[in-house]
A and B are shown apart, each in its own frame.
Chain A
């Protein structure tokens, strides 16, 4: 993660691409979202979707995974260059998660995050508040999910 001052509004980061395998979709859904169209390919054929679809909680959590992994790689590269790495705090939450299109087995989703707004934190002067627009887009270019999040990012002081 860059320092708060170094982040430019409109800057869009592609976090990664993920191809959803049927096994992974079923394993997640058995644990957290065991509805027929998420765990049973036969039952899914009778559903509104016509085939097995990934739980929205899985496709959303996978955004987080790629966000965290990219940050870890960037931090490692920064440390290797002898640069200081900006810290960011646990997120207080986010807004307007939309599951816009189903994700089927074999679909590849590209996850991205775009800086939308920066504000100073009054209560924590060493942190800035960054609002981002986050998305997942499938291999056909269709948006499958999007949401806005808020994260505390360290200031370069």
Chain B
């Protein structure tokens, strides 16, 4: 007997997702909250973003914002800090993708928007939405991810947004299936 016809699997299709265990995209997952103290903001800005309205409270008062504002680069770095912290590499063998790079190897990001400033004492909610993930064609166990990075005030006002692309462990993607992961680390 020959030949049961099998239709090819469309790359990126839902069928492919189900077969290789990739997560559904579009779910917002909170990675954590962070309070930007004035001391912490000043420490970062003095080192990496020493513009007057970031390092000098008096210059901040004279600026259009009326007070010191945080460095947007600090907000980005804290997004990364909480994103890396949301991954757990323990228990994986040392040469596995999860142990080599739990949160992934960045290619870069686009569409960065610093929408409103962060002021001393602000609590910011960090989260992410997975836009797309594809198993790497030439590196087994790895996948190429594209995800939105988000920062907002607790009442919902958006503070920062960018879209990150990276090579990360495929298994980490599967872990993100849990739709209630958002509350786990709040």
A interface residues, Cβ below 8 angstroms from B: 31-37, 43, 46-48, 55-57, 60-62, 64-65, 68-69, 71-72, 89-99, 145, 147
Contacts and interface: CB of A to CB of B under 8 A. Distances in A.
Q: Which interface residue of B71, B80, B89 has the most chain A CB atoms within 10 A?
A: B80
A96 B108 contact: yes
8 contacts: A34-B81, A43-B99, A46-B94, A47-B101, A65-B47, A69-B50, A95-B110, A98-B107
Contacts of B69: 90
Q: Which 6 A-B pairs have the closest CB atoms?
A: A61-B48, A98-B108, A93-B113, A32-B77, A93-B112, A32-B81
Interface of B: 47-51, 53, 64, 69, 71-73, 76-78, 80-81, 84-85, 89, 94-95, 99-103, 105-114, 117, 162
Identify whether the interface residues of A are mostly helix, strand, loop, or mixed: mixed
Contacts of B89: 36
Contacts of B84: 32-35
A11 to B, nearest CB: 21
B102 A95 contact: no
A48 B73 contact: no
A71 to B, nearest CB: 8
Given A31-B81, A37-B100, A95-B111, A61 B106 contact: no
Contact of A37 (B95, B101, B109): B101
B71 to A, nearest CB: 8
A35 B98 CA distance: 10
Contacts of B112: 93-95, 97
Nearest to A145: B108
B100 A46 contact: yes
Given A65-B47, A98-B108, A90 B78 contact: no
A74 to B, nearest CB: 13
Given A33-B81, A91-B72, A65 B49 contact: yes
Contacts of A37: 100-101
Given A97-B109, A97-B110, A35 B101 contact: yes
Given A64-B49, A95-B110, A35 B103 contact: yes
Q: Which interface residue of B48, B50, B72, B110 has the most chain A CB atoms within 10 A?
A: B48
Contacts of A64: 48-49, 71, 73
Contact of A90 (B80, B99, B100, B117): B117
Q: Which interface residue of B49, B69, B103, B112 has the most chain A CB atoms within 10 A?
A: B112
A43 B94 contact: yes
Given A35-B84, A96-B110, A48 B48 contact: no
Nearest to A53: B105
A99 B51 contact: no
Contact of B51 (A57, A68, A93): A68
A84 B51 CA distance: 18
A30 B94 CA distance: 19
